[in-house]
C-alpha cells in the first residue's frame, strides 16, 4: 500500500502521531521526510506490546518508510511516531497473522517487546531538538499591561465590597436574578448567617459519626476504615445531593451562556459579511 505524503504527512508532525485507519503495517507507506521512526504495536491475543523500527529511503523526493521486520500475529499497529518523542497507544487497524518462520525473522531483527505492559503507561524518550520560549521579566512588562493582566488592590477592594453588598441582600431576602451583572450569589450560599449555621451543623454531624465509629471499633478491637468512610458518607448524603443540584444548575448556566455567545458571534459574522 502506498499513501501520498499529502494524505498523512502531517500525521507525524506532532509527537502523538495517529495514522489513518486505512494505513497498515504490511507495506510501504509514504511519509514526509522526517526520521528516525518507530511503530508501537500490541497483540490482540496476549496484549503483548512492542516497538518495531522502520527504515527510510528516498523515492521521488519523498521518503518511503518500510518496516524492518513483520509484526507479531494479530498485532495492531497502534502508532507511528518519531523516535525522540514519547509514544502513547491509539487503536488502529489490525495486521494479518504470519507464519512461525516470519516470527523467527522478527526475533532475528531484534524485535523488542514488553510483555504485560499496560496501554496507559507511556514510553518516554528525550527529544533531540530543544524548543525554548522566551518569557519576559516582570520589569520588562509595561505597567499598563500589568494592570490589564493581574488583579489590583483596587479590584480586590471592589470585589470585597460587592460580596458584602450581595450577602446583605441575600440576608434581607431580596431577589437577585441570575443574569444580574452586578450581583451574583453563586459561592456565597454559606456566607450568610443561616447558611453558615447549616454548614456548621452538617460538619458536626459528619465529624460525630466518624468519631463514634472509631470509638466503637476501638471497643471491639477492630480496624475497618471502610466502615468509617461509610459512616461519613451516610451523614453527608444531603450535602452531596445539594452539591449535585448546584452542579446541574451551573451546567445549565454554562450551556445557556455558550449558546448566547454563539448566537452573538454568528450575528457579528453575518453583519460583517453583509
Which run of H or E residues covers position 233?
helix 225-235
| Domain residue ranges of the chain, discontinuous segments joined by + | 5-114, 152-188
DSSP letter at 22 equals T
Q: Specify which residues 67 forms β-bridges with.
A: 54
pLDDT in tens, 102-143: 444 444 444 444 444 444 566 777 777 878 888 889 899 999
pTM of structure: 0.42
pLDDT in tens, 224-273: 999 999 999 999 999 999 999 999 988 998 998 899 889 888 888 888 87
Closest C-alpha among 33, 29, 126, 26 to residue 83: 126
Closest C-alpha among 121, 51, 36, 117 to residue 84: 36
Distances (CA, A) of 259 to 115, 251, 263, 264: 49, 12, 6, 9
Beta strand pairing status for 29-31 and 62-67? Answer: antiparallel
* Percentage above 70 pLDDT, the chain: 55
Residue 188 CA to residue 155 CA, distance in Å, equals 19
Q: So what's the pLDDT on residue 182? A: 77
81 or 260: which leads in pLDDT: 260
The helix/strand/coil state of 137 is coil
Contacts 24+ apart (CB under 8 A), 135-144: none
Beta strand pairing status for 29-31 and 37-43? Answer: unpaired
Q: Is 184 in contact with 166 (CB distance < 8 Å)?
A: yes
37 or 250: which leads in pLDDT: 250
pLDDT, averaged across the chain: 69
Residue 221 CA to residue 230 CA, distance in Å, equals 19
Q: So what's the pLDDT on residue 49? A: 59
| Residue 197 grid coordinates | 449555621
| Residue 18 grid coordinates | 495517529
Q: So what's the pLDDT on residue 86? A: 32
Predicted confidence (pLDDT) at residue 88 exceeds the cutoff of 80: no
Residue 191 CA to residue 194 CA, distance in Å, equals 8
Q: So what's the pLDDT on residue 191? A: 87
| Residue 130 grid coordinates | 530543544
Q: Is 34 exposed, middle or buried (0-12, 13-18, 19+ CB in 10 A)?
A: middle
Cα dihedral 260, 262, 268, 270, rounded to 10, equals -120
| End-to-end CA separation in angstroms for the chain | 48
The phi and psi torsions of 78 (rounded to 5 degrees) equal -80, -40
Amino acid at each position: 500500500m502506498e499513501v501520498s505524503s499529502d494524505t498523512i504527512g502531517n500525521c507525524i508532525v506532532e509527537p502523538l502521531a495517529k495514522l489513518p485507519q486505512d494505513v497498515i503495517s504490511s507495506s510501504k507507506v509514504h511519509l514526509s521526510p522526517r526520521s528516525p521512526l518507530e511503530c508501537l504495536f500490541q497483540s490482540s491475543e496476549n496484549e503483548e506490546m512492542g516497538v518495531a523500527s522502520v527504515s527510510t529511503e528516498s523515492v521521488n523526493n519523498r521518503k518511503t518508510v518500510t518496516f524492518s521486520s513483520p509484526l507479531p500475529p494479530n498485532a495492531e499497529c497502534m502508532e507511528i511516531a518519531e523516535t525522540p518523542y514519547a509514544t502513547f497507544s491509539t487503536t488502529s487497524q489490525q495486521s494479518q497473522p504470519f507464519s512461525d518462520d516470519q516470527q523467527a525473522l522478527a526475533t532475528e531483527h531484534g524485535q523488542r517487546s514488553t510483555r504485560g505492559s499496560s496501554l496507559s503507561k507511556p514510553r518516554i524518550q528525550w527529544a533531540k531538538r530543544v524548543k525554548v520560549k522566551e518569557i519576559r521579566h516582570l520589569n520588562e512588562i509595561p505597567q499598563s499591561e500589568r494592570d490589564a493582566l493581574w488583579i489590583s488592590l483596587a479590584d480586590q477592594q471592589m470585589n470585597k465590597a460587592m460580596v458584602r453588598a450581595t450577602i446583605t441582600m441575600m440576608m434581607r431576602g431580596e431577589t437577585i436574578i441570575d443574569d444580574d451583572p452586578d450581583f451574583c450569589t453563586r459561592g456565597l450560599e454559606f456566607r450568610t448567617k443561616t447558611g453558615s449555621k447549616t454548614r456548621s451543623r452538617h460538619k458536626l454531624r459528619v465529624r460525630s459519626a466518624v468519631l463514634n465509629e472509631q470509638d466503637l471499633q476501638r471497643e471491639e478491637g477492630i480496624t475497618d476504615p471502610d466502615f468509617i468512610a461509610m459512616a461519613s458518607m451516610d451523614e453527608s448524603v444531603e450535602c452531596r445531593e445539594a452539591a449535585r443540584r448546584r452542579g446541574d444548575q451551573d451546567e445549565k448556566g454554562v450551556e445557556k451562556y455558550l449558546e448566547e455567545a454563539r448566537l452573538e458571534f454568528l450575528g457579528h459574522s453575518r453583519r460583517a459579511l453583509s
